[in-house]
A and B are shown apart, each in its own frame.
Chain A
């Protein structure tokens, strides 16, 4: 692998600028004449707008413009859309309500944008925003998804009767019902997956700049996928045609999914820039982030898992209500459907599965993909049910899982997915050994002596990354293709630029993508630069989410490198008067195998550009492009073990050990992979123990700051024991599966399984905060 090649633990190139404060984020961008925007947002969860009076605000110091939704509509700016069509089981298309970037007749959640103010300073914009006088008629609100389906619930969008967006199913209902009827044992549970706020470190921001001379727009924005932002803003929101719109996503401080979507603010900054004649910048404050970033999860499900007399699973029936919030965000519809129900087979050979999913409008922030997106919900449901079933059946949770593992590949599940490779027993064995699973009984006995409750929990997750191929996702309703592009430019002096449609917002692409090039050509990673995040520089690409940058983005790079390598060898063969087939690339030189004849990499590159002595008919230059469309999803999987100790007096749960044994396929940089697992597990523990998004009945967000929303801190977490045992992915050239979300997918059920084991109960709500745990312990005594 070499010290910088594939498999090396190379320190991240980008970290020098990040940790010295030299990163450049949207808020760091300054253009001449730039002014500042502030939004007037709805204080009500549901209300009619009776009147908007901007007169006073327009007269405030420094105010340049005060703009409303009616003006936006008059200028032809379109409504926001959901880009994945789901059809209900009766064949009808999903019922999408209108989402105007600025509300003008009705507001549907606290934080809904109504008016934008542009002023000389941020403070003046805020002062004027407070002076905007809006008369509302408050309407009844509903925040809870099951309640939104009740007859008495307020109607949120005229397009969606009874607030039902779609009623969708997957799998074989008849076969599943028959399996349950014939079962020797059925485990039944109600499973709630709590709503989470993404909390990227950098709040969302946008800077819109309209160049009147060129009739051209530039948008700097906190995006995980700038090309997608341009496509959607151009094709659906009518901001500007693609050739007149440049989108730049510079350094971005975390996204976790929340920066995939196109929000009202970036559209409005562009539109307002043309309208007012000045560049317009907006940066969310933390409370705006809490209120308006797309939230994650929020499922309420019932599950029935059927077993035969040998404890083999014979059927799984799931009914889920998914809360999509007040509007359908860009990919909201695919999260509780094709990213969720398709994973309900888990690591298990289940002959019959049926899932029914109802997606519902409520008066809450829109809900969309958040680290894991559907797969955490599927894993939580399945692994909580497995653990409960083992307890009901009186068998070891590990052995019940092992008995039901899929062991031969490829494996076609009853819910679309075709698993290509895996070794689930290997991960289970590795995790149990690392956790000293066999020694648990003794540790529990020791804990009892200290007055503590001790519990252990398992979670065997599988997930799907790199959604693909494009034709398949298209047939399932996706409005886009899910390929990736790469361009590799070898410069005349041999340095290399890789232009990728993937977008790094913390993942370390500048390092890992360079390692791939270093491996191939033997050049140092410092001579390789990664260019991304700018639609004017990089060819069309689809961005980073769904752990796709390695499996899809780097595969595109690999294919472009193939083409570069082929041409480089042709040039070298010509220069060395050798046969092309005899050229090998080693340590930065092209050599004739078995001889001492070679040409350095840079000299070959220079030859390509001087073009003084190229093979006959060859075009000068050395630059190749590839668009890579995978042939299948990838399927990372693994086993997590969580062990907890609970103080029964206070209800405090301490995670005394956490083991992650993953199968990510081939690994480019183990240090970065471990970092991804650490971060993902921290987020999963956050969901299980700490993070609870709470709206009151009127739709006010009670957890709108860090005073009330608990983020995981270092002292909440143990030292993680992480390891991998990898089976290469057969469907992409690099054998990569992806690792960005696994930690957040696999960990919550392990934590809750450990807590319920410690207390001796069936279920506990997430987050299992000290007060919740204390109440659960007290309930066992009554």
Chain B
């Protein structure tokens, strides 16, 4: 690791101010940032630590509306009793991110700001039609995730929360990379008042995406059987040493089927 100036922000406004110093980067759980710095792949001049900002933490449920502070850890999302009732699929998704150490440190805001193409939350938020709230504006998930490690966030913009309407039914199934245990394919299905939304992570060569063909099939019938024999095109899917695009295409159909079965269970 190269030497770096560390700042602990007291508030979001304080963080925004500190972010103007040098080539500063935000630090939340540090689950990606710190390894990148340790391996000398990243060398920010300054780090602005968001992890002590109280206003960024916690889950609120009001009727069907769920709001999760950006600094809430995966563990706190996974174990929130209100969320487990309102949207158990998201709590379950959080419970299977990384390992316990990652879940105690990593945050929802950090995960979506990084937008790793194999991360779980982007699929969840895209399928839940969530809104990403920043210190400057609100962004629909559909406009937020713009590519591999790319988001709609502008310089100086800080995610403060995500909010969504709890769906009637939802579930997430992922197939883990045997080595890293990130998702090779993860599929989040949600059936809400505006219809069925299906988002796929781990597979797309441009990051998380919605599968219109699976959504169409599930709109007709929200059953695993509706996906029987469905062939997903391997076009625009990633191919690497762990999984070919064809294999990923197969897994999208299989994981979608299993997710629907779980959502109906």
| Inter-chain contact B242/A650, CB cutoff 8 Å | no
Given contacts A123-B1, A707-B180, A771-B247, contact A650 B175 (CB under 8 A): yes
What's the nearest-Cβ distance from chain A to residue B80, in Å? Answer: 26
| Inter-chain contact A769/B180, CB cutoff 8 Å | no
What's the nearest-Cβ distance from chain B to residue A778, in Å? Answer: 8
| Inter-chain contact B178/A769, CB cutoff 8 Å | yes
Contact mask for chain A residues 758-782; partner B; CB cutoff 8 A; 1 contact, 0 none: 0000000000011100110000000
From A649, A702, A710, A775, contact of B178 by CB (8 A): A710
| Inter-chain contact A650/B254, CB cutoff 8 Å | yes
What's the nearest-Cβ distance from chain B to residue A703, in Å? Answer: 7
Contact mask for chain A residues 671-704; partner B; CB cutoff 8 A; 1 contact, 0 none: 0000000000000000000101010000000110
Contact mask for chain B residues 1-41; partner A; CB cutoff 8 A; 1 contact, 0 none: 11100000000000000000000000000000000000110
What's the nearest-Cβ distance from chain B to residue A690, in Å? Answer: 6
| Inter-chain contact A771/B180, CB cutoff 8 Å | no
What's the nearest-Cβ distance from chain B to residue A111, in Å? Answer: 15
B265 contacts the other chain (CB 8 A): no
What's the nearest-Cβ distance from chain B to residue A41, in Å? Answer: 14
Give the A interface residue count (CB, 8 A): 24
What's the nearest-Cβ distance from chain B to residue A696, in Å? Answer: 9
A438 to B250 alpha-carbon distance, docked (Å): 35
| Inter-chain contact A649/B254, CB cutoff 8 Å | yes
A709 contacts the other chain (CB 8 A): yes
Given contacts A650-B251, A706-B180, contact A771 B1 (CB under 8 A): no
A476 to B23 alpha-carbon distance, docked (Å): 63
A708 contacts the other chain (CB 8 A): yes
Given contacts A650-B254, A775-B247, contact A703 B175 (CB under 8 A): no
A349 to B65 alpha-carbon distance, docked (Å): 75
| Inter-chain contact A774/B250, CB cutoff 8 Å | yes
Contact mask for chain A residues 709-722; partner B; CB cutoff 8 A; 1 contact, 0 none: 11100000000000
B241 contacts the other chain (CB 8 A): yes
From B39, B242, B254, contact of A771 by CB (8 A): B242
What's the nearest-Cβ distance from chain A to residue B10, in Å? Answer: 30
Chain B residues whose CB sits within 8 angstroms of the CB of A702 once the complex forms: 241
What's the nearest-Cβ distance from chain A to residue B81, in Å? Answer: 28
B179 contacts the other chain (CB 8 A): yes
B244 contacts the other chain (CB 8 A): yes
**Size range of the interface on B?**
10 to 19
What's the nearest-Cβ distance from chain B to residue A638, in Å? Answer: 28
Contact mask for chain B residues 245-263; partner A; CB cutoff 8 A; 1 contact, 0 none: 0110011001000000000
| Inter-chain contact B178/A770, CB cutoff 8 Å | yes
A703 to B178 alpha-carbon distance, docked (Å): 13
A702 to B179 alpha-carbon distance, docked (Å): 13
Nearest opposing residue in chain A for B258, CB measure:
A649
Contact mask for chain A residues 632-662; partner B; CB cutoff 8 A; 1 contact, 0 none: 0000000000000000011100000000000
Contact mask for chain A residues 108-132; partner B; CB cutoff 8 A; 1 contact, 0 none: 0000000000000001001100100
A656 to B55 alpha-carbon distance, docked (Å): 49
A692 to B242 alpha-carbon distance, docked (Å): 10
Given contacts A649-B254, A650-B251, A774-B250, contact A709 B244 (CB under 8 A): no
A453 to B178 alpha-carbon distance, docked (Å): 20
Given contacts A694-B241, A771-B242, contact A708 B247 (CB under 8 A): no
B243 contacts the other chain (CB 8 A): yes
Chain A residues whose CB sits within 8 angstroms of the CB of B254 once the complex forms: 649-650
* Overall SS of chain B's interface: loop
A770 to B2 alpha-carbon distance, docked (Å): 39
Chain A residues whose CB sits within 8 angstroms of the CB of B246 once the complex forms: 775
- Give the residues from 279 to 324 in chain A that come closer than 8 angstroms, CB to CB, to chain B: 287
Nearest opposing residue in chain A for B247, CB measure:
A771
A710 to B243 alpha-carbon distance, docked (Å): 14
What's the nearest-Cβ distance from chain B to residue A366, in Å? Answer: 22
- Count chain A CB atoms within 10 A of each CB in B39, B175, B178, B254 and give the residue with the most: B178
A34 to B190 alpha-carbon distance, docked (Å): 60
A692 to B243 alpha-carbon distance, docked (Å): 13
A769 to B241 alpha-carbon distance, docked (Å): 11
Contact mask for chain B residues 133-161; partner A; CB cutoff 8 A; 1 contact, 0 none: 00000000000000000000000000000
What's the nearest-Cβ distance from chain A to residue B77, in Å? Answer: 23
Chain A residues whose CB sits within 8 angstroms of the CB of B250 once the complex forms: 649, 774
Chain B residues whose CB sits within 8 angstroms of the CB of A771 once the complex forms: 242-244, 247
A250 to B142 alpha-carbon distance, docked (Å): 57
| Inter-chain contact A709/B247, CB cutoff 8 Å | no
Given contacts A774-B250, A775-B247, contact A709 B242 (CB under 8 A): no
Chain A residues whose CB sits within 8 angstroms of the CB of B39 once the complex forms: 287
A123 to B37 alpha-carbon distance, docked (Å): 13
| Inter-chain contact B178/A690, CB cutoff 8 Å | yes
A562 to B254 alpha-carbon distance, docked (Å): 67
Chain A residues whose CB sits within 8 angstroms of the CB of B2 once the complex forms: 127
| Inter-chain contact B244/A775, CB cutoff 8 Å | yes
| Inter-chain contact B241/A774, CB cutoff 8 Å | no
A126 to B251 alpha-carbon distance, docked (Å): 42
A699 to B250 alpha-carbon distance, docked (Å): 31
Nearest opposing residue in chain B for A651, CB measure:
B247
A692 to B2 alpha-carbon distance, docked (Å): 32
From B179, B244, B251, contact of A710 by CB (8 A): B179
A650 to B247 alpha-carbon distance, docked (Å): 8
From A649, A711, A769, contact of B242 by CB (8 A): A769
From A123, A126, A651, A709, contact of B179 by CB (8 A): A709
What's the nearest-Cβ distance from chain A to residue B101, in Å? Answer: 14
Closest 7 CB pairs of A and B: A710-B179, A707-B180, A710-B178, A771-B247, A649-B254, A771-B243, A708-B179
Some 19 contacts from A to B, beta carbons below 8 A apart, are A123-B1, A130-B40, A287-B39, A649-B250, A649-B254, A690-B179, A703-B179, A706-B179, A706-B180, A707-B179, A708-B179, A710-B179, A769-B242, A770-B175, A771-B247, A774-B247, A774-B250, A775-B246, A775-B247
| Chain B residues packing against A (C-beta within 8 Å) | 1-3, 39-40, 175, 178-180, 241-244, 246-247, 250-251, 254
Q: Give me 12 other A-B pairs in contact (C-beta within 8 A), A127-B2, A709-B179 excluded.
A: A130-B40, A690-B179, A706-B180, A708-B179, A708-B241, A769-B178, A770-B175, A771-B242, A771-B247, A774-B247, A775-B246, A775-B247
